Structure 1
Amino acid sequence: MAGKAKESRITLTEAQIKDLKKTFEKGSYSELSGRLEETLASLENICLDVGVTGEPGVGKSTFINAFRDLHEDDEGAAPTGNVASNKNPVPYSHPKYAHVILWDLPSIGTPNFHAKDYLEDIQVSHYDFFVILASSQFTPLHASLAHYLKKSDKDVYFVRSKVDEDLEAIRQTQPAGFNEAAALEKLREECVQDLKAAGVKSPKIFLISNFLLSRYDFPLLGETLWKDLDLQRSHSFLLATPNISHRLLEKKKAAMIEHLWLVSAVACGLQAESIHEISVICNVDLLVKMLQGYCISFGLEESSLRKVADHAAQPVEHLRSLVKSPLANEIAKEQVVELLIQAASKPPKLPKELVTMASMGLSFAVVYNMLKTFVDNMAGDAHRILVKVFMSQKPRGESEIEIPNVSETERPSL
């Protein structure tokens, strides 16, 4: 005898429950979905502009490529090496999220440089926050620029690039007594003291290697920006962040789950069609688009897997064997219908305030359950790929093989 289908609890905020209850009582999603469709569209099109600056040769272009998960020989990568310094800001859109743009700003520290004039030249109000890079020590020049950025009400993050080179130099001078953790702490303290001496209070400092993203502070930089940005921009930022740590993958998953109620409500009221096998009414085309988007964010598409395999010197078949979910290009209407049928076989447990409305909320509940299961499965696939490809570059403190099951989130829901 088959076991009892496992229930999936739907967790919603009080405001979300209130909106849905009103909708269920009216017996129609049209009013709610019409209002929320605009919200969903705005989330997908939120713009994020990041200003990246520093002196010549500190690795601005390499940093911009790294965040966009591009190597220097990839199409659309910012030119690196001995290239002429640009005199005007140069935008580089994220290859998957065109509204997320990293700007390669003119170098600082040039003759006749003045921080106040520099901000006028780059039109400081255009950017959401700034990253100041240095490849050695931070100087009063960096502090002066940060001072004027703060006066313009902009957040500033100090990034010490090329820390892998710093550590190797220290290793060469201390072959017997080298301790990486102690060396990193000393580098960090030197950066803090240099900036404090130049008048910067509580500087946010991150030690990174543009070529070893999952080591050192690059994942921490991603987490910090996610927490500091407003809710809408943090959503765009997090989806665009490369999959370089288990913690970031879990936060990416949590960000998606926060908005499943919104997607479900819109899908059940916007150009919905009936799925006769399970008496569910929803917009299957919209769900196809959403599932494809989730796959792209987790890197579960053919082109992404091939690029990762190429750069990691791994056969793409090895990575593909770790993926249990369909890739983005494999998702079609027929498959979404099948996933909905599977979801309907495991009745979701609605919040108690909506139980009496369950008949009207059946479509919403099934769609939500399907999306939640799909996101959970994709996150598991992404974790397995991270373990396989980047094990040797994992940040300190991460589990050797454990894949997190619980989302870590401190952000409120919409």
Structure 2
Amino acid sequence: MADDSFGKFSEQELQEAKQYVDAHGVSGIVDFLNDKANQWRYIGINIGIIGESAVGKSSFINCIRDVTADDIGGAAVGTGDTTIEPTRYWHPYNEELVFWDLPGVGTPKYPRNEKYLDSINFEKYDFFLILSDSRFSINDVWLAKEIDKRGKRFFFVRTKIDEAMENEQQIRGGDFSASAVLDKIIKDCQNNFKAAQLTDTSVFCISNYHREMWQFEELMEQLIVALPELKRISLVLSIGPVSKQVIGQKTKILKDRIWKMSTLSALGAAGGALVPIPLVGGAIGVAVDLAILIGEVNFYLKQYGLNDESLKQLADRTNTTVDYYVQSLKFASSLVTKRQTIKTFVFDVIKRQATKQVQKTAARELVKFIPIIGSVVAGGVSFGTCYYFLEKTIKEFEADALSVVDAAIQQTSSQI
């Protein structure tokens, strides 16, 4: 493994760690690292979902949260009732990520004026999604201009594309072209925006029930980019693997987390919290903090949608079986098909993959931390082993997650 494949302690992180140790002592470094690794859980994000009645707001809120209308906390769909007050929906993985179903503007209760913006607590939201299932209305356009005027981001989202495709296919028969229909819908929307003198004329065409299709991935990419760094990390780690774009972002963030967890393992090794793992061929064994590695593998499985619950939800949503998706798995297959314990999984991977070169490379990186936390006996070996294991697990789980998405696209395409 090349030296540059290892994550680095940034100068800012080293300085923060030094300040923390100066204030709390060396024993406090464990809390510091845990806080840094998990700070994303406490970053508040509020996303405003707005549009006229029955355009798919509730379905979208459920879709992005990986729940259905029948689940606890699911948004009711299909009623056609107008939202009369802002209604919050927490993400089940992170209650700090909130999607707000907002009342539409331009009604007797909510006319187009400053009072409407005050009534929805405008400044609360990080950005807005304006949804429509046809042409965007004059009320939608007014809201977009007001949002832009006040320096916030908004995104136009054209919902129910699956229904539009089905209708066009029935009308055109053998002349039907999905790409031509999509281009026409986008052009119609953009012409509408230009007529209203909107400078941002982008629109994302999605289906709330077939998010693998059309422009859901492009939408997610823009939502992620719209947030500052800490909120971006929180959003990516809070939502499920809803697109390939999100999966790629998860991988980047999880890799940045590796050095923190590997350092925690090194500190555990120095303190005697060891679980020895002999290497293949009788090589000298390594010692790791097994609890940290098991916790990370569980975390990764959930992040990449490879745990039992996530695979079942995906199978139900795409009208197929869990076995259909299990066939796509390689690295994680033993955890699903063979019901291998995570502890055995960790042991097996480390036995096969740990090398002295990995340990040496990692030890050189860890030495930067020693002036801050003091001498770490045997820490370099533990750090290197954990780092290599976690990096390999992320890489392989990402590949499995992308294979599952491809399988979902194939399954969805066969039904449309």
* Inter-partner Cα distance in structure 2 for 1:267 and 1:60: 44
Size of the alignment, in residue pairs? 385
Q: Deviations over 1:316-350 (max 9, x none)?
A: 234334434225x9755565455445443474273
- Give the corresponding residue for 1:119: 117
2:7 aligns with 12
Structure-2 residue corresponding to 1:289:
295
C-alpha distance in structure 2 between counterparts of 1:150 and 1:337, whole Å: 54
Change over 3 Å in CA distance of 1:331–1:156 after alignment to 2 = farther
Match of 2:104 among 107, 112, 119: 107
SS in 2 for 1:273: coil
User: Separation in 1 of the partners of 2:90 and 2:13?
Assistant: 38
Displacement of 1:308 in angstroms is: 2.2
Query: Within the alignment, does 1:367 sit opposite 2:390 as a pair?
Result: no
1:56/1:108 contact within 8 Å kept: no
Whole-Å separation in 2 of the counterparts to 1:31 and 1:202:
49
Counterpart in the other structure of 1:379? 398
**Aligned positions of 1:10-89 closer than 5 A:** 10-13=5-8, 15=10, 19=14, 33-89=30-86
- Aligned to 1:63, the other structure's residue is in SS state helix
One-letter amino acid of the structure 2 residue matched with residue 350 of structure 1: T
Give the alignment's TM-score, normalised by structure 2.
0.80
Q: Is 2:274 aligned against 1:274?
A: yes
Question: Is the CA contact (8 Å cut-off) linking 2:288 and 2:385 kept in structure 1?
Answer: no
Moved more, 318-327 or 93-102: 318-327
Measured against aligned partners, the alpha-carbon deviations of 1:76-126 in whole angstroms (never above 9, x if no partner) come to: 321001253332221212222332221111233322522522221111222
Q: 1:174 to 1:335 in 2, by over 3 A?
A: closer
Deviations 1:45-70 (A, max 9, x none): 32222111111111100111111122
Shift of 1:194: 1.4
Q: What is the aligned partner in structure 1 of residue 309 from structure 2?
A: 303
Contact 1:222 1:241 in 2 (8 A): no
Aligned with residue 354 of structure 2, among 334, 337, 344: 344
Contact 1:36 1:266 in 2 (8 A): yes
Question: Hey, what's the Cα distance between the residues in 2 that align with 1:80 and 1:61?
Answer: 6
Q: Is the 8 A contact 2:52 2:132 kept in 1?
A: yes
- % identical equivalent positions: 26
Structure with the bigger percentage of helix: 2
Q: Distance in 2 between matches of 1:346 and 1:206?
A: 50
> CA 1:313–1:138 in 2, change beyond 3 Å: closer, same or farther?
closer
Instruction: Please name the residue that 1:264 is paired with.
Output: 262
**One-letter code aligned to 1:275:** V
Return the match for 2:325 from 306, 314, 319.
319
Structure 1 position 360, deviation (Å): 5.1
Aligned residues: CA RMSD: 3.4
In 2, Cα distance between equivalents of 1:181 and 1:308:
26
Q: Which moved more, 1:115-124 or 1:273-282?
A: 273-282
Relative contact order higher in (CA < 8 Å, ≥ 6 apart): 1
Provide the rounded CA distance (Å) in 1 between the counterparts of 2:177 and 2:412: 17
The whole-number CA distance in structure 2 between the counterparts of 1:317 and 1:208 is 27
- The verdict on how the C-alpha distance between 1:103 and 1:330 changes in structure 2, with shifts beyond 3 A counting, is farther
- Which of 168, 172, 176 is the equivalent residue of 1:174? 172
Q: Which residue of 2 aligns with 1:410?
A: none
Aligned residue in 1 for 2:151? 153
What code does the residue aligned with 2:308 have?
E
Give unmatched runs, 5+ long, in structure 2.
279-284, 369-375
Segments of 5+ residues of structure 1 without an aligned counterpart are 1-5, 395-414
Question: Is the contact between residue 156 and residue 202 of structure 2 (CA under 8 Å) also seen in structure 1?
Answer: yes
Deviates more, 1:48-57 or 1:381-390: 381-390
Q: Separation in 1 of the partners of 2:127 and 2:67?
A: 21
Do the aligned partners of residues 69 and 346 (structure 1) sit closer, same or farther apart at CA in structure 2, a change above 3 Å counting? farther
Contact 1:50 1:131 in 2 (8 A): yes
**Match in the other structure for 1:405:** none
- Structure 1 residue 223 displacement after superposition: 1.2
Contact map agreement 2:216 2:243 (CA 8 A) in 1: no
The amino acid across from 1:76 in the alignment is G
Instruction: Go from structure 1 to structure 2 and tell me whether the alpha carbon gap of 1:48 and 1:286 turns closer, same or farther (over 3 Å shift).
Output: farther
Confirm or deny: 8 A CA contact 1:10 1:350 kept in the other structure: no
Distance 1:353 1:334, change over 3 A: closer
Q: Secondary structure at the match of 2:194?
A: helix
Provide the TM-score with structure 1 as the length reference. Answer: 0.80
Q: Which residue of 1 aligns with 2:192?
A: 194
The 3-state SS of whatever aligns with 2:235 is helix
| Counterpart amino acid of residue 369 in structure 1 | Y
Partner residue, 1:398:
none
Tell me how far apart the structure 2 counterparts of residues 206 and 159 of structure 1 sit (CA, whole Å): 5
Residue 70 of structure 1 aligns to which amino acid in structure 2?
A: V
Higher mean displacement: 71-80 or 277-286: 277-286
Residues 95 and 366 from structure 1, CA distance in 2 versus in 1: closer, same or farther, beyond 3 angstroms?
Answer: same
